[in-house]
Amino acid sequence: MSTTSRSLRRIFRSLQVFSRDDRKAGALMMSTAVLGLLCANFPGLSRLYQAGISWIPLSQLPPANSLHISLGEWIQDGLLTVFFLVTGLDLRQEMTSGSLRHPKQALLPLLAALGGVLAPIALYLLINASSPATISGWAVPTATDVAFSLAALQVIAPKTSPSVQAFLMTLAVFDDIIGVVLIALCYSQLEQVWGLLLTALCLAIWYALTRVRQLHWPHRVGALAAALGAWYGFLIAGVHPVLSGVALGLLTPARPAPGQTSSRATRLASALLPLSALLALPLFAFCSMGIPLHEFKLSWLSSPVFLGICLGLALGKPLGIMAVLTLCSTLGLKPPLGARLADLLAPAQLCGIGFTMSFLMAKLAFSDPEFTNIALVGVLVGSLLSLLLSAFTLACRKHFAGHRPAASTALQ
């Protein structure tokens, strides 16, 4: 092996280690989101920023061509598909050998996730009941960003028990599944049926190729072509193309082949994680948070869109989760091992951190740019408020626990 090859391998391993650290990857995404906000408002840079994300790389194609989209849309609809592919691979692995393998074990977080989705929807609809123009944003406050939530839990409560961490992760996984379903059902509009036929053909090719024991370069090229074809098929069919990533991930084998120690889903997720965490998500955050603050109005803070999203994330999510957990506890479905209901309040509040999925839903829900900007601000404020409320809850528990001789150690 040449010196260059060894150096590239070392660099790739370093990127993998960095991308697996939720705190570092989360900090990178937040930094690029702040950078996007600055670039959209800094004199001299704002025009360059807007021109960059509005640039149409394939502008020479006929205007009616489906690939005649801006750079910002390529990042949102194209590059972000890598994140959804990693999500699909993780879901597939969890359903095969992880926390979603046993129905009884997954029942409580599933019900809690449903409560954490229904309550924000109800709160948003209640606030926006008299505003038909903004009712389409009801799905925005339903999402949980699993990476940010787990990273925040590790920062503010590093001694949290593994059972509580596993519960939060499983709940967030179900939340992701619900989010994908909402995008498919609510933000897609079927246009050309033959696009679905193309997608079905490409998914079948992917399914077959990923089950070949040894993937030589012709198989790899074929699998890449099938993935791109599935993405394009969804695009021209009117279905949001990022969903192709989830479909590809769920069709990838998650059991190790004879003689192998890891599954193809695990290896592919590990290989794609740096691209997802260090490129796709930061660039998406950079483009999404380009809110021109010179257009900001104090009336935004009293807008039904802002209030519905902000309160839906910060209050609706934890209220829905805790209500379901309390009901389930009275019916005999107990909290995770070693935890009490009170131990789950802070993790439930962290589920109000929306970011990635909420950003995407906000950009899909509204056609009016002002409503989109208000929604993005609502996601940002609601997520930050969720983090602060969770930290406050933990601080109060530690204070009162210091006055009790036998406090629960599930969440510290």
Give the domain CATH number at 297: 1.20.1530.10
Q: Is residue 10 part of a domain?
A: no
Read off the pLDDT of residues 166-207 as tens digits, 9 standing for 90 and up.
Answer: 788 888 888 888 988 888 888 887 778 889 999 999 999 999
Mean pLDDT over residues 283-304, rounded? 87
What are the DSSP calls for 192-208, one per residue? -HHHHHHHHHHHHHHHH
Q: If DSSP states are collapsed to H, E and C, what string results for 98-141?
A: CCCCCHHHHHHHHHHHHHHHHHHHHHHHHHCCCCHHHHHHCCHH
Does residue 390 fall inside a structural domain? yes
The parent domain of residue 311 ranges over 99-175+280-401+408-412
Q: For residue 64, what pLDDT is reported?
A: 67
Q: Is the pLDDT of residue 359 over 70?
A: yes
Residue 152 in contact with residue 211, Cβ under 8 Å?
no
* Residue 406: band (very low, low, confident or very high) from pLDDT cuts 50, 70, 90: very low
5-40 as b/e, with b when 16 or more CB fall inside 10 Å?
A: eeeeeeeeeebeeebeebeebbebbbebbebbbebb
Name which of 241, 191, 231 is nearest 360 in CA terms: 241
CA distance 383 to 392: 14
Q: Does 284 score more than 60 pLDDT? A: yes
- Residue 158 inside a domain? The answer is yes
In a domain, 121, yes or no: yes
Q: Nearest 5°: phi and psi at 335? A: -65, 175
The pLDDT of residue 402: 63
- In this prediction the pTM is 0.85
Is residue 360 included in any domain, yes or no?
Answer: yes
Question: Are residues 264 and 253 in contact, defined by beta-carbon separation less than 8 angstroms?
Answer: yes
Going by pLDDT thresholds of 50, 70 and 90, the confidence category of residue 412 is: low
Q: Is residue 237 part of a domain?
A: no
Q: What are phi and psi of 325, to 5 degrees?
A: -65, -40
Q: Is 260 exposed, middle or buried (0-12, 13-18, 19+ CB in 10 A)?
A: exposed
Beta strands in 186-269 (DSSP E): none
Higher pLDDT, 148 or 349: 349
Higher pLDDT, 120 or 68: 120
Assess if residue 271 is contained within a domain: no
**How many structural domains does the chain have?**
1
**Cα separation of the two ends of the chain:** 48
What's the pLDDT score for residue 235? 92
Radius of gyration of the chain (CA): 22
Q: Which residue has the tokens 């924000």?
A: 120
In a domain, 139, yes or no: yes
How high does pLDDT run on average in the chain? Answer: 87
Among residues 228, 237, 252, 288, the alpha carbon closest in space to that of 87 is found at 252
